[in-house]
Amino acid sequence: MSNGRKITVIIAIAFFIALIASLFTLFSVKKVSAEYDVYGNAEETAEIQRILDGFKGKNALFFDTDEIKESLSGFSYYEVISVEKQYPNVISVSLKKRAETFSVALGDKTYVLSKEGIILNDVGAILPESRVVAVSTQGITVKNAVSGERIATSDDALFYSALKIAEKAAFSDFVISVGIVSDVEIKDVILNTRTGVKITVYKADTEGQAKIETALAAFENASDYVKTYSEIVVYKADTGEIKVDWLNGPS
């Protein structure tokens, strides 16, 4: 190879190295910003930001955004909605604050759950501003309980149907507590309401939402007097029709 060609190759290599170096500098993350739908306390958000700042200096071109989701998995009260690269050197993280919705006593622990059944804490600690619905269980045990993940039980079909039924009944605006009974032939959900009426959903693990909608419609059509003392039972008849019966009230 002639000296002239050697010099050309050396210049080309030097240019390539300089280009790569400039790209790494240009796309080196300088800011990781966090946006919240609802802010938590200052200590939580400061700790989250501290962790996010640890990603400064990463190359945005090759950076795997799942690393951020994994790094924040320990914050059970926060759900990472999105992680977006804003080229050349900013990463934007959107977080949603999970609301305390249910307090569930299972075994020797009381779990505070989001409406989706995500475990927020397993010590029963409830924020003063929260209005959670107490859930009691009979015949249900915990299979897996990891903070920040959905709780797994011995009867998930019934358990999660109960949570959905409570959601249909407008949570703490109407429902004070929820009882779940799981046995060989019994799969019932009992709602205790603020008006005093008890609503029992038979075989709530199947068509639970349709059954509670039928029961709520019957409740709305009842008189104010009946709403203060009666009990509603809702079930699927042999004909396939979802029916509501009133105990100590109108038929």
Per-residue pLDDT of 138-180, as tens digits, reads: 999 999 999 999 999 999 999 999 999 999 887 667 899 999 9
Which backbone phi and psi does 102 adopt, to 5 degrees? -130, 145
Omega of the bond leading into 88 within 30 degrees of 0 (cis): yes
Q: Taking 60 as the threshold, does the pLDDT of residue 47 lie above it?
A: yes
Strands (DSSP E) found in the chain: 31-36, 78-86, 90-97, 102-106, 109-113, 119-121, 133-138, 142-144, 152-153, 175-182, 187-193, 198-201, 231-236, 242-247
In the predicted model, what is the mean pLDDT of residues 85-98?
A: 90
Nearest in space to 36 (alpha carbons), one of 66, 81, 74, 101: 81
User: What is the domain class of 27-97 according to CATH?
Assistant: alpha beta
Banded model confidence at residue 5, pLDDT cuts 50, 70, 90: low
Tell me which of 172 and 77 has the higher pLDDT: 77
Tell me which residue of 241, 231, 189, 213 sits closest to 250, measured CA to CA.
231
pLDDT band at 27, cuts 50/70/90?
low
Q: Return the higher-pLDDT residue of 10 and 235.
A: 235
What share of the chain in percent tops pLDDT 70?
87
Which residues of the chain form CATH 3.40.50? Answer: 102-247
CATH of domain 102-247: 3.40.50
Q: Out of 27-31, 50-54, 107-111, 181-185, pick the least confident.
A: 27-31
- pLDDT of 229 strictly over 90: no
Residue 40 to residue 238: CA distance in whole angstroms: 50
How would residue 41 be classed by pLDDT, with cut points 50, 70 and 90?
confident
Q: Give the global pTM.
A: 0.82
Confidence of residue 62 (pLDDT cuts 50, 70, 90): confident
Separation of first and last alpha carbons in the chain: 102
pLDDT of residue 21: 45
